Structure 1
Amino acid sequence: MKILFIHPPGEWTIGEQIVPHSPYAPPLGILYLSKILEQNGHDVQVIDFCAEPLNENKLKREILSSDAVSLTVLTSALENSIKLSKMVQKFDKDIPLIVGGPHCSLYPKQSLLDLNAKVSVEGEGEEVILDILDAINGKKEFCEIPAIHYFKEGKIKDGKPPRIIKNLDLIPFPARYHVKDYEYGYVLGSKFAKGNFTAIITSRGCQHNCRFCARNFIGMSQYRERSVENVIKEIKEVIEEGYDSIMILDDNFLGNQKRVHKIMDMLKREDLKIELLLQGRCDSAERSMYKKMRDSGVKGIYFGIESGNQDILDFYNKGTQLDDIRRAVKLSREMGFFTVGSFILGAPSETKQHFENTVQFSKSLPLDVVAFFTLEYAAGSRLWDKAVADGKIEPNEYMVLSDSHRGLSEFTKEEIEAYCKTAHRSFYLRPKYWVDQIIQSTATKNFRLFKAMIKVAKETMRKKFVSLKPISED
């Protein structure tokens, strides 16, 4: 069979403003499935609409030459996913449509209805994708397949209960060659990554349970790691394929420090030359580990800092202390890492003083880039669950901004957005900050990041962001 995988165009929200989702990283979930299918004799085509504009003629051509279509569904791109599903069925009303991804894991049956799909996959798809194709071909019964929901005789039926893949080493590496013509590594239209960029995932799930996190679904609710040897093997493959930099997309790559030490030791010992970017928690900062990271090619770290107030961090169940944050960011600067910190405004108990504390705290840290966001009540998070239980959010409202009109904050969403804009200006419009950036860029001889940072600073300080409307059905 020939299967067409489609990754929908996404959106980011900054306050009330919606901006296009830049081609940040390749759709690894699709690429994992692609490799499995190809190893079992199927043909695969991948279209990433985060990295290329919608071309209906191309889409129609690929659909008509395929035997099945698989569409990734993210909550942030749900509307565009629905539009795409309608296009698929307009071009070929009989082609089987399989939907999966984070939103389907949260709402498998509703996703089946919303996208008028044949099959909805709940959780990880690597173990079931071959069975689904066999069932479409009449070689297997849908009811025998774990983690799926499907239509039969006009009714939604359930497969067997979903299960988690315990040994991640058994999953073949992503088929990156399907996206070799795309360019990734962009944030808000600016490229931060060096040269030919890709991403890897070395673990799934998270050891923590932040109140605002929406990743509480099957496949992400249990933390699992790949072996160090398996990770190094993939990095070698990535280098052989001609990539210059890698983003490690783990929710917290630094959580298991013993494992990080082993990975960095092996990278150094085998002299693997590639730039690494990663995201990690501030309570994982340890000097000897950071030194190994620096010596093994790590160039940047993204920290989800969230707040400059300990009571707000405690409310979020973040599990970090303000001193942890100070130590992690300062140690990162000492190692020469490019650091990004994100902050959230709008927790239910936050006051103007809380907002001011967070802004002043951000300015006290040697961060290269900051981003201030309005708190989102996202489906799947404990924050969202509580608001639904209290009647402040409807169950079908998958993402709601913090707002006093709904009893979610002390401020309206417009007021919080204004504070976010003020926070960006307060951080970036400082002579001290720009002198520091020039000094750092000169010391590291890396003006590429400096130029990209200027563009991001301008974008975050703009009064109006470019709106991204849902894609047209016409």
Structure 2
Amino acid sequence: MLNVLLINPPQSTRYPQPPIGLALVAAILEKAGYPVKLLDANALRLKPEDIIEMVSDADIIGITAMTPTVGTALRIAVLLKQKNSNLKIIMGGAHVTLLPEETLQTSPAVDVIVRGEGDVTILELLKAIENNLPLSSVADISYKSNGKIISTDCGAPNIDMDALPYPAFHLLPWQMYQPHPPHGMAMPFGAMVTSRGCPYRCAYCSKPVFGSRFRAQSPDRVIDEVVYLQQKFGVKEIAFYDDSFTLDKKRVHAIADKIIEKGLKIAWTCETRVNLVDKDLLRHMKQAGCYAVAYGIESASPEIIKTLQKDITLEQVETAVGETREAGIQVIGYFMLGSPGETPQTIRQTIDFAKKLKVDFAQFSVTTPFPGTELYDIYMRDKKEKIPWEK
């Protein structure tokens, strides 16, 4: 069978997080019998040139590419092709999912792009490559053929979330992962993603990657993975990186019930929206080990919140923050500066609001028009120029 090497490109982060999506692909390939290695160049602080020296027996290279790392990912692809032109280089991830044609046009070293959820696609793609079958038979990919870029039809995301294997944590340098401040109750640290899809319409979110239909693992499946991480790796803290962990409140209540019933000693955090929590849920989460919740607050300007299509009010923010603190849970507030319509006055308004809320940790970021977002469409319509992502 084909030897596969999966690469998570390096980026400038102080606290590298486990590449859950790539580890899930690795687990699926392992289950199908493929020899797989996973190189987390980000956690290992490797440079692209270092990676090239570590590639030996691979037939297939899979590289994940988010917008902040796509330039480095493409650099790695070029260096790999220069060393071995026979390598098949596959790229996946949010950025190339949303800009497949543009990526292939500017990156001759990339052979195939897997779009969207690669859980099923990757197996079909490797079977096609192994058996010299036409790539046109594989859904959700883009590739070059006779100088033309071909994008196959989209397959319906009909994945049974409970049937997914546990991500291949054992292939990662798991001892090196640390939670983002102010998280950090206990080590070793692990991370999980238990759902996909979001029905909300935030203008800054790359919604097309997973779509608007919410799909989640059952409480039993979630608990099984928590127990696995505890027993296999001694994990004492878990970050749930679902886009909106509490979107299905009944599911979260059931997860909390099972953590308490089983007597699991696990500290955990999650991210969600201010309109998706209430007093009872927060108290239950606290009882089950939750010690911090991160909310996307974004701005204190109602006009900017409306522009961002966040669909929340400042009153909801204040209520959620207050109830979270009342439950004994730390509050992390995410804020964005530089959105359309931003002025020095609205920036000050947002900073003052963050102080008023007395969140335990406030993270301010610059609004960025990522591909697949409405903000990106607005940028491209106004600027009419392509962004040189490869740089």
* Alignment match, 1:355: 347
Return the offset for 1:7. 0.5
SS of corresponding position for 2:336? strand
* Alignment match, 1:25: 17
Whether the 8 Å contact between 1:347 and 1:375 is mirrored in structure 2 is: yes
> Residue 145 of structure 1 is aligned with which of 134, 138, 142?
138
Is residue 129 of structure 1 aligned with residue 122 of structure 2? yes
* Alignment match, 1:219: 210
Is residue 107 of structure 1 aligned with residue 102 of structure 2? no
Counterpart-to-counterpart distance in 2, 1:193 and 1:266 = 21
Whether the 8 Å contact between 1:198 and 1:247 is mirrored in structure 2 is: yes
Return the offset for 1:123. 0.6
Is residue 275 of structure 1 aligned with residue 254 of structure 2? no
> Residue 183 of structure 1 is aligned with which of 176, 194, 199?
176
Counterpart-to-counterpart distance in 2, 1:26 and 1:398 = 24
Return the offset for 1:114. 3.3
* Structure 1 residues 57 and 308: CA distance shift in structure 2, 3 A: closer
Return the offset for 1:70. 0.4
* Alignment match, 2:77: 85
* Structure 1 residues 63 and 384: CA distance shift in structure 2, 3 A: same
| Alignment size in residue pairs | 388
**Which is higher, the Rg of structure 1 or of structure 2?**
1
Whether the 8 Å contact between 1:378 and 1:398 is mirrored in structure 2 is: no
> Residue 223 of structure 2 is aligned with which of 223, 232, 255?
232
> Residue 163 of structure 2 is aligned with which of 163, 166, 170?
170
Whether the 8 Å contact between 2:41 and 2:47 is mirrored in structure 1 is: no
SS of corresponding position for 1:52? coil
Residue type at the aligned position of 1:100: G
Q: How high is the sequence identity, in percent, across the aligned residues?
A: 28
Whether the 8 Å contact between 1:63 and 1:69 is mirrored in structure 2 is: no
Structure 2 stretches lacking a partner, 5+ long:
none
* Alignment match, 2:6: 5
**1:384-395 equivalent positions in 2, closer than 5 A:** 384-389=376-381, 391-395=382-386
* Alignment match, 1:413: none
Structure 1 stretches lacking a partner, 5+ long:
11-19, 400-469
Return the offset for 1:173. 1.4
* Alignment match, 2:314: 322
> Residue 152 of structure 2 is aligned with which of 155, 159, 177?
159
Moved more, 105-114 or 190-199: 190-199
Residue type at the aligned position of 1:394: E
TM-score after normalising by structure 1: 0.77
Whether the 8 Å contact between 1:203 and 1:223 is mirrored in structure 2 is: yes
Counterpart-to-counterpart distance in 2, 1:114 and 1:198 = 36
* Structure 1 residues 277 and 38: CA distance shift in structure 2, 3 A: same
Moved more, 248-257 or 376-385: 376-385
Counterpart-to-counterpart distance in 1, 2:130 and 2:111 = 13
Residue type at the aligned position of 1:3: V
* Alignment match, 1:293: 285
Counterpart-to-counterpart distance in 2, 1:36 and 1:247 = 22
Alignment deviations for residues 220-274 of structure 1 (CA, whole Å, 9 cap, x no partner): 4432112222111111111112111111000000111111111111111111211
* Structure 1 residues 398 and 312: CA distance shift in structure 2, 3 A: farther
TM-score after normalising by structure 2: 0.93
* Structure 1 residues 60 and 386: CA distance shift in structure 2, 3 A: closer
**1:42-57 equivalent positions in 2, closer than 5 A:** 42-54=34-46
SS of corresponding position for 2:176? coil
Counterpart-to-counterpart distance in 2, 1:193 and 1:6 = 29
* Structure 1 residues 193 and 142: CA distance shift in structure 2, 3 A: farther
Counterpart-to-counterpart distance in 2, 1:244 and 1:263 = 17
SS of corresponding position for 1:385? helix
Counterpart-to-counterpart distance in 2, 1:256 and 1:357 = 32
Counterpart-to-counterpart distance in 1, 2:354 and 2:389 = 30
SS of corresponding position for 1:69? strand
- Which structure 1 residue ranges, 4+ long, deviate > 3 Å from structure 2? 55-58, 190-193, 395-399
Is residue 334 of structure 1 aligned with residue 331 of structure 2? no
Residue type at the aligned position of 2:334: S
Counterpart-to-counterpart distance in 2, 1:254 and 1:393 = 39
Whether the 8 Å contact between 2:219 and 2:254 is mirrored in structure 1 is: yes
* Structure 1 residues 24 and 186: CA distance shift in structure 2, 3 A: farther
Return the offset for 1:163. 2.6
* Alignment match, 2:254: 262
Counterpart-to-counterpart distance in 2, 1:285 and 1:22 = 30
**1:461-472 equivalent positions in 2, closer than 5 A:** none
Return the offset for 1:23. 3.6
Alignment deviations for residues 282-311 of structure 1 (CA, whole Å, 9 cap, x no partner): 112211111110010101111111111222
Return the offset for 1:394. 2.1
Whether the 8 Å contact between 1:9 and 1:80 is mirrored in structure 2 is: yes
Residue type at the aligned position of 1:350: E
* Structure 1 residues 323 and 398: CA distance shift in structure 2, 3 A: farther
Counterpart-to-counterpart distance in 1, 2:116 and 2:13 = 24
Return the offset for 1:35. 0.9
**1:366-445 equivalent positions in 2, closer than 5 A:** 366-389=358-381, 391-396=382-387
Return the offset for 1:57. 7.3
Is residue 117 of structure 1 aligned with residue 110 of structure 2? yes
CA RMSD of aligned residues (A): 2.1
Whether the 8 Å contact between 1:63 and 1:91 is mirrored in structure 2 is: no
SS of corresponding position for 1:303? strand
Residue type at the aligned position of 1:354: T
Residue type at the aligned position of 1:159: T
